[in-house]
Amino acid sequence: MALVIDSRIKDLNPWVEEFRKYLPDQEVLTWPTDDVEHIDVAVTWYHHRELFTSLPNLKMIASLGAGVDHIVEDASIPDDVYVTRVIHESISWSMSNYCIAAILYHQRRFDKYLLDKQNVVWDQQHPPERDISVGIVGFGVLGQDLGRKLRQLDFEVHGLSMTKKEIDGISTYTFDQMGDFLQRVNVIVGLLPMTPQTKDFFKKDFFDQVTQGSFFINVGRGAQQVDEDILSALNSGQLSGAFLDVFPREPLPGDSGLWGHPRVMITPHIACITKIDIAVPQIVENYNRIGRGEIPLHLADVSRGY
């Protein structure tokens, strides 16, 4: 039995070191390797395209993070292979903290006071809080953690997903109830997985339907948003502001109109970064499960794409 790690974009050395700590008697390889026959498990983050078809005995593909879009977009995944992702309370903790910070930045008018400070303006607004109702688009593991924490802070919360959820104190909607959902919220948090259906999800048609003056936060994936349509919605007043962690092109190009827009906050895809010491033990547990012929934990559904 052996495990191979592959990424086109990540420095794999610390990952290899950590895997070897947990699997001292096993082969921990990096791609490319000639030793393909023994490999049961591939651990990937934006892998080389030939990887899956080069491994004749592959049984599991493990994402190094929460998303599996970089795996399932490759049509060469063999049918009978498990795809797993990392789910951990520390990921939800980071993501929920980021989103709560973005929501409070708007709710406590810090966006306005940041501009006032630049212009040396002392202008107390009453009441000090904006009246908000938060809508979470993509109500899965991360969305639900955020929803529960917002409820504990006494915010009104609505969650939208493909299938109906039941969570105390939160109004939930399915995809076909989008119009109803958008009428009830004025802060929108994008927490969707990247699939063919969610590409360009946050575009003109979407912003035309939101409550006028809504605040938009996106922490899902950049290809889900159309930057020009966000700018148009800001300039027409459909959106009052945007807080963005992801972009269709990353790094965000220097000539993007988002950089200079006074009502846009930008962070460089840092809402939540998977920690090696969290991800590796989970993947090792699944590697051992494969060795015992058991089903791994935290499976993604390849047919749904997430």
Minimum separation from the CB atom of position 25 to ligand NDP (A): 32
* Nearer CB in complex with ligand NDP: 12/223: 223
Direct distance between the N- and C-terminal alpha carbons of the chain, in angstroms, rounded to an integer: 27
- Of 269, 289, 298, 304, catalytic: 269
What is the H or E stretch that residue 114 is in? helix 110-118
Q: Which of 228, 161, 155, 149 is nearest to 190 (CA)?
A: 161
Query: Facing residues of 170 across strands?
Result: 167
* Nearer CB in complex with ligand NDP: 31/306: 306
* Active site annotation includes 261: no
Residue nearest to ligand NDP (CB): 140
Binding site for ligand NDP (CB under 6 A): 66-67, 95, 138-143, 160-163, 175, 191-195, 197-198, 219-221, 245-246, 269, 271-272, 306
* Active site annotation includes 158: no
Q: Quote the tokens at residue 127.
A: 């009441």
- Of 70, 106, 158, 221, catalytic: 221
Counted residue by residue, the chain has a size of 306
Q: Which of 47, 91, 96 is nearest to 68 (CA)?
A: 47
Q: Which of 191, 199, 200 is nearest to 137 (CA)?
A: 191
* Nearer CB in complex with ligand NDP: 183/197: 197
Q: How far apart are CA 295 and CA 292, in angstroms?
A: 9
Minimum separation from the CB atom of position 68 to ligand NDP (A): 7
Residues 6 or more apart whose Cβ sits within 8 Å of residue 33: 4, 39
Minimum separation from the CB atom of position 303 to ligand NDP (A): 12
* Nearer CB in complex with ligand NDP: 220/241: 220
User: What distances in angstroms separate CA 243 from CA 6, 33, 199, 216, 288, one per listed residue?
Assistant: 32, 42, 19, 6, 41
Residues assigned a catalytic role? 221, 269
